[in-house]
Amino acid sequence: MAMRIGQGWDRHRLAPGRPCVLGGVTFPDFPVGPVGHSDADAVCHAIIDAVLGAAGLGDIGDMFPDTDPAFAGADSRDLLATAWGAVRELGWYLVNLDVVIICEGPAISPMREEMRAKIAATLGSTAAAVNIKATRGEGMGPEGRGECVTVQAVALLEDA
Ligand SMILES: [Zn+2]
């Protein structure tokens, strides 16, 4: 049995007039949302980079170029499903995933279980294997000023 580990990191600016979607979950009452070519779901993007990295498949920009109009406004859970399909084709399964979301808002904890369930379903795994943590910037840096959301993810895969 082989095991592989991968990390992912993503950051998106937060701006008014954008739906706030993180980890496939919409935060309907939050006044700003991540800005990007797709729905800019930084949680899904960091997870994509973690699982692609573990499988040696490059990164999200290789698979979904932000110059491609096909991905404009894309639902990042669909992108995650596509990336995970490529990882699965190589015979990898998810052992576990650990995610850290760094932002002043929205408050992640009320939506944490929904987020875990959606990500686990996309990865053919169980919520127990998907851990979501959230922390704040304590007033420092772009996260602390509420200018952006930053996400780190680590994924462990095994081949049996
Ligand atoms: Zn992104």
CATH class given for the domain over 3-158 = alpha beta
Structure tokens at 75: 């639902």
For the chain, give every domain's residue range: 3-158
CA of 42 to the centre of ligand 1 (A): 5
CA of 79 to the centre of ligand 1 (A): 11
CA of 38 to the centre of ligand 1 (A): 8
Structure tokens at 114: 């929904």
Encode pLDDT of 62-112 as tens digits.
999 989 999 898 999 999 999 999 999 999 999 999 999 999 999 999 999
Encode pLDDT of 131-159 as tens digits.
999 999 999 999 999 999 999 999 999 99
- The one-character DSSP state at 84 is H
- The one-character DSSP state at 127 is G
Q: What is the pTM of this model?
A: 0.97
CA of 156 to the centre of ligand 1 (A): 21
CA of 31 to the centre of ligand 1 (A): 19
